[in-house]
Amino acid sequence: MFSVRPARPDDLSALTSVIEDRAAWMRERGLDDWEGWLSSAPMMAARAVRSRSPGWVLEHARGRVVGCTSLSDRPLDEGWSVAEGEEPALYLNTTVTDPAWRRYRPGALLAAWVLERAAATGRTWVRRGCTSEELMRYYRDVQGFGLVRTVRSDQTVTHLLARRVAGTGAAD
């Protein structure tokens, strides 16, 4: 029903719409930073379709783009230890999904795909960070990520989460 593939330049319009729809959903629920998402939607979509480091698109079988994410093999969030940064891991960043497809849990589908990709490429961990308490609970309680630590700076609170890749050792 769904597949994941690298984002392409012809996805730009669909990705912009997904991000704008997410911003509207955030606004309706009184969530912080919806204005930032709305104003940066074209830039976020353009970043996802860069050929040198494309994002990944979750696509419905009928060709509808319902989400996207980006991956890195090094941490983008501050707060990971040097030892954690040296472990083989994929870092899941900037996941955005179309709220109209919530019943299918597209974010969880993308996270599951990343776990499979991590296993196939010899990684031990999938890690992610977020600044929202609500998102942290969702990643922990629904997607199975463990909260590693919460990092506080002058203006930001970042929750760092990790999930061991199945078949790579303890706690599979």
Using pLDDT thresholds of 50, 70 and 90, give the confidence band for residue 171: very low
Does residue 169 have a pLDDT over 80? no
Task: Please answer whether residues 107 and 18 qualify as being in contact, where contact means their C-beta atoms are separated by less than 8 angstroms.
Answer: no
pLDDT in tens, 91-146: 998 899 999 999 999 999 999 999 999 999 999 999 999 988 988 999 999 999 99
- For 63, 133, 153, the CA distances from 164, given in Å and listed in that order, are 31, 21, 27
Say whether pTM exceeds 0.85. yes
Could you report the per-residue pLDDT of 60-86, keeping only the tens digit for each?
Answer: 999 999 999 999 988 887 899 999 989
